[in-house]
């Protein structure tokens, strides 16, 4: 049987989400920690972004497409609910996390991990400018998670796999960590799901930078 390869650096939240999905499905895979724009990536993704996937003759780019392929191709708990309404709800939160929240969280995190300052220290101006977007994202999650165990459908779905890596970094950084500490529902949600074997087995050994 063809080997499933998930290609991309472990510290990437999108790579991490796909790996959580594969772990939740119980799918055996090989993780190749390749950086963006390297040859194994550009051979599959037209913009050289990670993750990419190879499964025999099948190659795919973009995390949502990869997660969907894994979900439909292998046995195991569904990453996307089979019920139409529940699936749409999960898809909604995948989109909100990846397309609306992530740019704010990424901008903030990059100001810490990859600052463009002359001395290489955290970019305080960029942190201040991006923190309102982080706070807004956490407020949206706080409202959604109040009284809930997961983002959608009452079960763990790919939407949760998308948001958990984001929260991992947000909790670890000083300003956003303070904001997150004040979000009772988000904090409880993260503390609960960070203990999942899928999350623990895929957590990067070191932060970006």
Q: Which two tokens stand for residue 183?
A: 């979000």
Domain annotation for the chain: domains and CATH numbers: 4-73 (3.40.30.10), 84-197 (1.20.1050.10)
Tell me: the pLDDT tens digits for 48-78?
999 999 999 999 999 999 999 999 999 999 9
- Bridge partners (DSSP) of residue 162 are none
- Report pLDDT for 1: 66
Instruction: Determine the Cα–Cα distance for residues 199 and 203; give it in Å rounded to an integer.
Output: 6
Going by pLDDT thresholds of 50, 70 and 90, the confidence category of residue 209 is low
């Amino acid at each position: 049987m063809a080997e499933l390869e998930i290609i991309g650096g472990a510290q990437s939240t999108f790579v991490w989400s796909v790996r959580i999905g594969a772990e939740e499905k119980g799918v055996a895979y090989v993780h190749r920690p390749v950086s963006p724009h390297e040859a194994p990536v550009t051979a599959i993704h037209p913009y050289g972004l990670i993750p990419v996937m190879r499964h025999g003759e099948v190659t795919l780019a973009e995390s949502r497409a990869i997660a969907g392929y894994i979900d439909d191709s292998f046995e195991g708990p569904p990453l996307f609910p089979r019920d139409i309404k529940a699936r749409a709800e999960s898809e909604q939160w995948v989109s909100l996390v990846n397309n609306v929240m992530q740019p704010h969280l990424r901008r903030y995190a990059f100001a810490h991990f990859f600052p463009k300052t002359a001395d290489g220290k955290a970019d305080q101006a960029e942190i201040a400018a991006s923190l309102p977007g982080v706070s807004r994202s956490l407020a949206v999650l706080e409202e959604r998670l109040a009284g809930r165990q997961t983002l959608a459908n009452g079960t763990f779905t790919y939407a949760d796999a998308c948001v958990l890596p984001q929260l991992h970094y947000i909790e670890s950084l000083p300003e956003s960590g303070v904001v997150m500490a004040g979000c009772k529902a988000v904090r409880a949600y993260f503390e609960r799901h960070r203990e999942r074997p899928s999350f623990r087995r895929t957590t990067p050994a070191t932060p970006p930078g």
